[in-house]
Structure 1
Amino acid sequence: MKKYGKFAALIVVVIGTLVWLATAGMKENQTYYKTIVELSQMGDRAYGARTRVGGDVEAGSIQRVGNQVQFVLVQDTTKLKVAYTGSDPLPDTFKDGAQALADGKLDKDGVFRAARIQAKCASKYEAKPGQLAPGKNAPNINTGKASI
């Protein structure tokens, strides 16, 4: 019986350790999306905390300096300078006016140091003139209505 008690205690310790590691890992990877205004309202709590912040890329603000990309996110009249030095290439949809999410930390100098950038895709794709929009069928010659 003593042998089974030690084995059961070992199992409990292993399971407890796994649960603790999973919980700690989830808390570390858990970041909330904040707007630029919300980030500015956090005050000193914003500095150094891992955060995801979103806004629109200000037109003409994208600058490449060596391996770093700098740009400005805008929400209404509030602006946030962002410096991205991540190893992943920027998304194809990242451009002036695009909605973007930056994942990183705000420094005391007011620059958001991003490790990852995501650009939101357009929610609506439009066809070129003379072409049908995606998912649309040409009208039936006999009825004049689009076929499904």
Structure 2
Amino acid sequence: SHNDIKDLKQKLFNAPKNKLKFIAIEGVYSMDASIAPYDFYTIVQEIPNAFLIVDEAHSFGTIGENLLGFLEYYHIKEKDKIIKLSTFSKALASYGACILAPLQVIEFLTNRAKSVIYTTALSLLDTALTLAHLEYFIAQRQELKNELHKHQQIIFETLGVR
């Protein structure tokens, strides 16, 4: 069940020890803007053959010191057991998405994932647009963060929610 760490631990304990295990979460849940618990990361560190898949679609551009998402928010630097999915269409106002993962995961997806194999890559123009937006995002991150907090405050005060 959703965010039930105890239930997840039980399922992982009962899973075959020699099989790969993938725990998929959203960095920020789109329905209520709650941030996924850090416990998911710690569980992956404890379990052999476990990977954490983090969908950063709603967390990139909204949380973390530099608005880089869930991994930055929790100061997670380890990359061997993390698969990060990010979209360019939200915070960067562009097209496409990316997967940041260990090399063996990228090689597997490149050679076996039909959605990767049979998808047309971004055009050079779209790639350049995304890069320009990313460079702007990085250069203006403090201003963007201030704007985000200002808009959040307006919503909190107007709707009386947090």
TM bucket (normalised to shorter chain) is under 0.3
TM superposition score normalised by structure 2: 0.26
Task: Work out which structure has the larger RCO, using CA pairs closer than 8 Å and 6 or more positions apart in sequence.
Answer: 1
- Name the structure where strand makes up a greater proportion of residues: 1
